[in-house]
Amino acid sequence: MELRDYFKILKRRKYLLIFPFIITVLAVVAGSYYLKPVYESSTTILVGETNFLSATFSRIVPGEERGRGYDNRQEQLNTIRNRILSTSYLQQLIDKLDIPISEDIKRKVTKIHKEFPNISELELARRIQIDRIRNQIRVDFNGSDLISITSQSSSPKTAADMAKNLADIFIKESLANELVGVVGATEFSDEMLAVYRKRLRQSEDDLRKFQQRMLTQSSDRDSTVNGKLNEINSAIDGAEIEIGTVSQKLHNLKTYFKAQGIKDYNIRYSDSLNTMKFEALTSIQGLKELLGKYSWKDGKVVLLNQKSRLLLESIKFEIDKLVRKQYRKYNPTTQQKIADNEYLTIKLSYLREREKALKAAAEKIKSDIALTPSLRQEQERLQRKVDDNRRIYELFSEQLAGSQINQAATRASAETKFKIIEPADIPIKPVSPNRVKLTILGAILGLGLGFGAVLSAEFLDNSFHKVEEVESYLGIRVIGTIPKMDIPFSQKGAGRIWVIFGMAITLLLIAAVVYLNQLN
């Protein structure tokens, strides 16, 4: 067959091609108006990575060193999709929007309840409802930090409410999940800190009682050592009382300066004052060694204490002289208070160093007391127990401080990590049905049906249309033919008019659908 033969077939079967085309397009366009419209609304969330801690703090604070690789990011985004479409989130959405169970779900539950007798009808209805809502929601990722939540519904307001509330649920639950880990770590550290604080105190009490018992037993053997220790303890008590008195006086002086509006009350030290202060503080260092060998009333100890008192008196005299020289603008009362403040500051440092030296001397005397091997082993065991409990206590103390810092940083970063950059709006036109696409598909389908009808008619047609077909079938040559006679237009024009009219109606209908969609 040649190409013009195909045109002849189409011309001969034009009605089988045109009528299915017109009928299909009209049916598709008319049927689209019976479809329920579907509206779509979406919201976009920015998932950022914030870190309020420096690199140094991130290494110190527990749980702050996290992977930032591409694979981890993709895994996090996939986890987010599963969370948003999870039954828990969708159930919260249903409860928040108060979405009722539709009648068709109830009818379906009534039919299938016999297959699942162990599940209540309400539970079955909830599962079907959640599955349908899950099919109406789509979660997409734009780049590596943008999440798009899209919802579909027959109501434009419901579509917008579903997208908006699901985004709010996701952000709220994400903030809670960000904090639950660090809160748990803080609570655990706090509990363990209390446990080991109690153990540390108990072990220290046990060691102290053992040492006191040993001191009591050794006092019978060596009354001199016991008396020396009592003298040192008495001196320690006196130093503690004097430290408290000096601290209170300094507090009163600072209150006075604040009330008078005096901010500049620190004097400039002379070389002699610096030298005397250095000698006073360093003279205490020999007190520990002297008390380990001699009693408190020994001449060397008395001489050292007398030297320290003379140095303090000299320091006071030098401070008075410097204050009168440097603060002439103040009255004598204020000058005296400035001098007292500076002297008491130096004396407080001296008293604290003296207290440390006395305590060190007392510990040295205690450690020098002779013990039997078994008692020494017991003392070492108790000391190791104290050291172990103290080390663990300090570790949990650091862990608690780090967890508290991490909790504060996580709370601050979590509040800025999730941000809605495109809120869900109420759609003004449905996304389905798309009548332009349906009309085009209908036209394609109509042409397909028309061509199918033409081919079917041709295959079923046994009549002859060419001379060659007659000669082939009869085996003889044709000696003459009667040509086709043209029928006047008045006789066959009606059929052509109907064809042209149908095609015009179809084209107008397609144009109207396109125009209406552009208006919407």
Q: pLDDT by residue (tens digit) across 138-159?
A: 888 877 778 888 998 888 888 8
Q: pLDDT class for 5, splitting at 50, 70, 90?
A: confident
In three-state secondary structure terms, 156 is: helix
The whole-number pLDDT of residue 357 equals 83
Q: pLDDT class for 66, splitting at 50, 70, 90?
A: very low
Give the CA-trace dihedral at 222, 228, 231, 232, to 10 degrees: -130
Model confidence, pTM: 0.44
Q: Average of pLDDT values for 133-137?
A: 89
Q: Average of pLDDT values for 344-361?
A: 85
Q: Is the pLDDT confidence value at 234 over 80?
A: yes
Task: Count Cβ atoms within 10 A of the Cβ of residue 472 and give its class: 0-12 exposed, 13-18 middle, 19 or more buried.
Answer: exposed
pLDDT tens, 21-47?
Answer: 888 888 887 777 777 888 889 898 887
pLDDT tens, 463-473?
Answer: 766 777 777 77
Instruction: Indicate if the alpha-carbon torsion angle 123, 128, 131, 133 is positive or negative.
Output: negative
Higher pLDDT, 476 or 415: 476
Q: Average of pLDDT values for 88-101?
A: 89
- Give the count of beta carbons closer than 10 Å to the beta carbon of residue 453: 17
The whole-number pLDDT of residue 70 equals 46
In three-state secondary structure terms, 159 is: helix
Q: pLDDT class for 334, splitting at 50, 70, 90?
A: confident
- Give the count of beta carbons closer than 10 Å to the beta carbon of residue 222: 13
114-123, 124-133, 174-183, 480-489, range with greatest mean pLDDT: 124-133
Least confident span in 95-104, 244-253, 290-299: 290-299
Q: Is the pLDDT confidence value at 424 over 50?
A: yes
The whole-number pLDDT of residue 518 equals 55
Q: pLDDT class for 111, splitting at 50, 70, 90?
A: confident
Q: Is the pLDDT confidence value at 50 over 50?
A: no
How many residues in total does the chain contain? 520
Q: Is the pLDDT confidence value at 134 over 70?
A: yes
The whole-number pLDDT of residue 421 equals 83
